[in-house]
Amino acid sequence: MTITGARIIDGTGAEPVPDGEIRTDENGDLTYVGPAAGAPGRAPGARVIDVAGRTVLPGFIDCHVHFGVGSMSELSTQFAADPTVGVLRTAERMRRTLHAGVTTARDLGGTPAGFRTAVTEGLIEGPRLHTAVRIMGHTGGHADFTTASGVDTSGGMGEIADTVDQVRIAVRRLLRDGADVIKLCATGGMGSPHDQPEDEGLTEDEIRAVVSEVARHGGRPVAAHAQGTAGILNAVRGGVTSVEHGYGLDDEACDLAGERGVFVVPTLSTVFDGIDRSKMAPYHYEKKVRWSGITRENIARAIERGLRIALGTDAGVGPHAQNLRELMHLVALGMTPMNAILAGTGTAAELLGLADRIGTLEAGKAADLVVCDGDPLSDIAVLAVPDNVRYVVQQGVVRKAPQPAS
C-alpha cells in the first residue's frame, strides 16, 4: 500500500514532513516514511491512497480503558447483566474506539484476556489489546464493590487481597488468567463507594510484593491506581511502572517519579468531562468536583516538570470512542500539541513495552496509522472528533475509510 499527499507527523518529535509518502509491505509493516521526492519506485499494482493534504500520524495508544464497562451506572448492575449481551457490547465499544483512532489500548480491569485473542485472530475489530483482567485491591477499597448484603455489583471486576502473602497469590491468579499488566490500587478512588481518593490502598510492602512476584514470573508492567499523595508515594517507592491518575502529585512525588522514570497516566477526561449531578451517585459527584481543581494544579506541575506522561482516558468511567479528547486536556494544562501527540504515541508505546513495533512511523515497524482532517499541531481539537479521523490503518489493514458518495 502507498499513501500519498500526506502531512506526516511521525511520533518521534521531528518536524512534520509536508509532502510525504508512506509505503507498506505485504506483512503490514512500514517500508518507507518520508518525503515523496525521496520515495522508491512503486510496485506494480500496489494500492494507492491519496490523502490530499491531510495529516498522517501513528495510531494512538490509550493506556487506560475499561472496555467491559459501558458507564459508571452500568457498573453497579453488571452482576445482573446477560453475559452474552455483555460480550457483544464490549466488542462494539472496541470497534468504535478503533475507528476513533486508537489502534492499541490497555484495559486496566474488567475485560478478560479472550478479547485480546479475539482481536489477534480477527474475530472482532478493535485495538491491539493488553489487559489487566481484574483490579487488585484490599477489602473495602477501590476494587471492592461489594454491598452490605454481600453482592459484588461489579460482576467480579476486583481481585481482593489483604496481606503480603495474599497479594502474591493474587498476582499468580491474574497471570494464570492471562494478564499482560498487573493493576493494583494504591489509594481509594472517586467511583468506589467505600473510600476517598486520599485514602491509602495496598501498603508499600504489599506493592513491593506485587512487583517482586511479577518479576519472578517473567516480568510485566505494574500499574498503580493512585490518586492521593500518600498512595502515590507508596506506589513509586514500591517499584510500579506507572501511576494511573496521579491527581495528588506534589513536588515530592514529582521528584521521586522523575528520579525513577515512572510513567504518569493522568486520565484527565474522567475528571473534566461529563460531570453531571443528575447522572452520578452523590458521593461520586462530590469527589469529582472537589478534585478537579487539585488535578489541574498538580498535573500541570507534572507536565512542567517533564515527567513521562502517557495518554489514558479511563474510558468506561467516561464515554468510549472519544479518547482523543484527552489530548485537548493535556494541551490545556501546558503540553505543546506535539508533546501531547507523543504522549499518545511514542511514550505510550514505551510504557506498554511495544516501542520496537508501534508508536512511531518508521520503516520496519507495524503500519499502525491514522489520517485526520486538518493540522493537529495548529488545532489539537481536530483529533477529538471521531468523524475527523478519516482513515485508520492497523498492521497494514485499512479498518476505517471514507464512505463513497451515494
Instruction: Say how many C-beta atoms besides its own lie within 10 A of residue 251's C-beta.
Output: 10
Give Cβ neighbours of residue 14 (< 8 Å, ≥ 6 apart): none
The answer to the question of residue 72 being in a domain is yes
Q: Are residues 190 and 226 in the same domain?
A: yes
* SS3 track for 261-290: CCEEECCCHHHHCCCCHHHCCHHHHHHHHH
- Which segments of 9-153 are extended strands (E)? 17-24, 30-35, 48-50, 55-58, 60-65, 102-107, 128-131, 135-137
HSE, CB side, 13 Å, CA atoms: give it for residue 49: 22
Q: What is the dihedral of CA 338, 344, 349, 351, to 10 degrees?
A: 110
Asked if residues 261 and 230 have their Cβ atoms less than 8 Å apart, the reply is no
The answer to the question of residue 406 being in a domain is no
Which pLDDT belongs to residue 119? 98
Q: Are residues 181 and 296 in the same domain?
A: yes
- Local structure of 151: helix, strand or coil: coil
pTM above 0.75, yes or no: yes
Asked if residues 92 and 377 have their Cβ atoms less than 8 Å apart, the reply is no
C-alpha cell at 205: 510492602
Q: Are residues 166 and 219 in the same domain?
A: yes
CATH number of 210's domain: 3.20.20.140
Give Cβ neighbours of residue 12 (< 8 Å, ≥ 6 apart): 346, 360, 362
The answer to the question of residue 120 being in a domain is yes
Q: Are residues 127 and 210 in the same domain?
A: yes
Whether 193 has a pLDDT exceeding 90, the answer reads no
Q: Are residues 143 and 236 in the same domain?
A: yes
- Which segments of 27-181 are extended strands (E)? 30-35, 48-50, 55-58, 60-65, 102-107, 128-131, 135-137, 158-160
- Measure the CA–CA gap between 248 and 196, rounded to whole angstroms: 12
Q: Are residues 189 and 295 in the same domain?
A: yes
Q: Are residues 29 and 121 in the same domain?
A: no
Residue 197 belongs to domain spanning: 60-352
Interval 256-299: pLDDT, tens: 999 999 999 999 999 998 777 877 788 888 888 888 899 999 99
The answer to the question of residue 44 being in a domain is yes
Whether 32 has a pLDDT exceeding 60, the answer reads yes
Q: Are residues 258 and 369 in the same domain?
A: no
The answer to the question of residue 205 being in a domain is yes
CATH number of 28's domain: 2.30.40.10
Q: Are residues 127 and 29 in the same domain?
A: no
The answer to the question of residue 405 being in a domain is no
Which pLDDT belongs to residue 289? 86
Q: Are residues 326 and 347 in the same domain?
A: yes
Interval 37-83: pLDDT, tens: 999 988 788 899 999 989 999 999 999 999 999 876 666 666 667 88
Which pLDDT belongs to residue 76? 60
Query: How many structural domains does the chain have?
Result: 2
Q: What angle do CA 210, 212, 213 make, to 5 degrees?
A: 65
The answer to the question of residue 396 being in a domain is yes
The answer to the question of residue 169 being in a domain is yes
Q: Are residues 217 and 336 in the same domain?
A: yes
Q: Are residues 127 and 271 in the same domain?
A: yes
Phi, psi of 113 (to 5 degrees): -65, -20
